[in-house]
Amino acid sequence: MSSDNPRMNQGSPPVAVRGVDHYENFPVASWLCPPHLRPAIAAIYWFARTADDLADEGDAPADARLADLAAYRADLMAVARGGPASWRWAGVFGNLRPVITQFDLPVGLLADLLSAFEQDVVKQRYASEAELLDYCRRSANPVGRLLLHLYGVRDEAALRESDSICTALQLINFWQDLSVDIPRGRIYLPADAWQRHGVTEAQLLAQQDTPDAINLIAACAHSARATMLKGSQLPGKVPGRGGWELRLVVQGGLRILDKIEALGFNTLKTRPKLGRWDFVVMGWRALWM
């Protein structure tokens, strides 16, 4: 997504990871990241960032974006088979190729990310929570699973906890960024939730902060917090500095939820951001996780 989209900047939940200013789910350039994993994490990050740009950067029409993403996917599959990539993204795939080989990286997870970016091009409404969670399964959960793979953490319980954290982070991004996404025509609040709370699409597009709309956002925020807490035991399973980084990522997401609540859940009008004091709070809470 475009670099002027606040959802991709440092106010997003994984703010504990300094240096991230575009694709919010990756801990790139963090001093907590083990040095031997930094090149691999950076290669995966640039793969995702480039695909994100293809899906959302500039003013190309949807069919052109989808064609570019299809070509990008073809390069991924070619590299995964040991073949050459095209010249268009030689830097991206030149860095990714040795990571796939060295770590036996699950290429299907990278392909899942691409499917989510493709969906971003054509889908701007979600009928149900199940639809939204399926999007999170492909747009966010692969990130955590890829990072756990690099750390050598493979057990099913840890993977489920990672999915909870990543899904929660994606949802928190959505609820944080309603004032940004809705003017762009994107409504991530699921339609079945609107209906339960008596909110219409027209009211959301007009960003009307009615009591029903506030209650809708509050319910979504509370659900995201519960999802995050389901994964809160995972940092203890990730070795070394990676575990500490994950603690800060979790606390970053929870802190954004605190800020949303402090706004009275009215993110239709205002986007909450983290300040210096919030980083202090996150660090303190991470110590006691």
Residue with the bigger pLDDT between 274 and 93: it is: 93
Residue 176 half-sphere exposure toward CB, CA atoms < 13 A: 29
Q: Give the SS3 label for residue 77.
A: helix
The one-character DSSP state at 128 is S
Q: How confident is the model at residue 57 (pLDDT cuts 50, 70, 90)?
A: confident
DSSP annotation of 182 reads G
- Which pTM was predicted? 0.87
pLDDT of residue 11: 37
- 135 with 186: CB under 8 angstroms? no
Note the pLDDT of residue 19.
30
| Model confidence at 27: pLDDT above 70 | no
CATH of 126-289, one of 3.40.718.10, 2.140.10.10, 3.40.50.720, 1.10.600.10: 1.10.600.10
The mean pLDDT of the chain is 88
pLDDT for the residue 194 = 95
User: What's the full length of the chain, in residues?
Assistant: 289
pLDDT band at 238 (very low <50, low <70, confident <90, very high): confident
For 146-172, write each residue's pLDDT tens digit.
999 999 999 999 999 999 999 999 999
Return the SS3 of 6.
helix
Report how far residue 74's alpha carbon sits from residue 70's, in angstroms, rounded to the nearest whole number.
6
Six token digits for residue 126? 């979600």
Token output for 18: 């300094």
* Domains of the chain, residue spans: 34-122, 126-289
pLDDT digits (tens, 9 = 90+) for 106-142: 999 999 999 999 999 999 999 999 999 999 999 999 9
Q: How far apart are alpha carbons 202 and 66 in whole angstroms? A: 29
Residue 238 CA neighbour count, 13 Å, CB half? 29
- The mean per-residue pLDDT over the stretch 206-212 comes to 97
Q: Are the CB atoms for 251 and 285 separated by under 8 Å?
A: yes
- Give the pair of three-digit tokens for residue 193: 């939730």
Question: Which range among 23-32, 69-78, 110-119, 241-250 shows the weakest confidence by mean pLDDT?
Answer: 23-32
3-state secondary structure of 220: helix
| C-alpha closest to that of 190 among 276, 257, 123, 272 | 123
34 pLDDT band (50/70/90 cuts)?
A: confident
Q: Position 111: which residue type?
A: A
**Burial (CB count <10 Å: 0-12, 13-18, 19+), residue 119:** middle
Average pLDDT over residues 209-230: 97
234: Cβ contacts below 8 Å, ≥ 6 apart: 158, 161, 162, 165, 246
Nearest to 23 by CA among 92, 71, 98: 92
E strand or H helix at 101, and its extent? helix 90-103
